[in-house]
């Protein structure tokens, strides 16, 4: 697992998709640090699929996610949330003054920083299901961007609300990567 990439972020093109959601528009980009062993286009598709999922924040918060393309971002179009996949070293920098210790992700400013270590390896809370952990990772950090704070497990054996810090502890809950259905 590399500790660092090249430190340069690139806005990724996300394929146009129909989004029937209504509500407050939340403009987002997907950014990937160079030098990571990852398919940036696949990261973009994954983030988009999570944001548009019927069990996601659009339903729960009544928002509509709209992607800002690389060209629009370069031209200065407003962005509300920058979903950023970064190496552990860059995660530490982007998350400061919060201490991520190269292990966890964060929300800082307008940026949902997804730690590449977790993106690649997942976490014990999700076992071998790295894809499901990625859904949690995106939804949890974007949840902060929408104004949600951390939550506690509501009871042993129940699904963990998305804002439980599931990477650190499930607190008796079972893992659940979506904002709805917990």
Cβ atoms of 107 and 165 closer than 8 Å? no
Cβ pair 170, 120 in contact under 8 A: no
Model's pTM, two decimal places?
Answer: 0.96
* 15-24, 100-109, 172-181: the lowest-pLDDT one: 15-24
CA 10 – CA 105 distance, rounded (Å): 18
In this predicted structure, the answer to whether residue 182 has a pLDDT above a threshold of 70 is: no
β pairing state of 63-67 and 24-33? parallel
Indicate whether 142 pLDDT > 70. yes
What confidence tens digit (pLDDT) does each residue in 22-78 have? 999 999 999 999 999 999 999 999 999 999 999 999 999 999 999 999 999 999 999
| 93 pLDDT higher than 90 | yes
Contacts 24+ apart (CB under 8 A), 104-110: 104/167, 104/168, 105/137, 105/140, 105/141, 105/167, 106/141, 107/141, 107/144, 107/145, 110/79, 110/80, 110/81, 110/82, 110/145
Residue pair 173/163 in contact (Cβ under 8 Å)? The answer is: no
Q: Where are the alpha helices (DSSP H) in 20-163?
A: 40-52, 57-61, 70-74, 88-95, 116-121, 130-145
CATH 3.40.390 for the 9-145 domain, yes or no: yes
């Amino acid at each position: 697992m590399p500790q660092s990439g090249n430190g340069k972020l690139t806005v990724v093109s996300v394929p146009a998709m129909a989004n029937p959601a209504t509500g407050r528009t939340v403009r987002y980009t997907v950014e990937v640090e160079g030098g990571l062993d990852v398919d940036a286009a696949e990261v973009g598709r994954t983030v988009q699929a999570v944001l548009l999922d019927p069990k996601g924040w659009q339903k729960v918060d009544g928002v509509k996610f709209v992607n800002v393309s690389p060209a629009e971002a370069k031209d200065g179009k407003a962005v509300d949330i920058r979903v950023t996949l970064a190496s552990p070293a860059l995660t530490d920098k982007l998350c400061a003054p919060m201490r991520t210790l190269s292990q966890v992700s964060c929300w800082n400013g307008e940026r949902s920083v997804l730690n590449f270590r977790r993106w690649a390896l997942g976490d014990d809370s999700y076992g071998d299901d790295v894809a499901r952990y990625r859904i949690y990772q995106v939804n949890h950090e974007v949840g902060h961007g929408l104004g949600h704070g951390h939550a506690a497990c509501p009871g042993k054996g129940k699904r963990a609300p998305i804002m439980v810090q599931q990477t650190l502890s499930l607190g008796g809950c079972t893992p659940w990567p979506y904002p709805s259905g917990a």
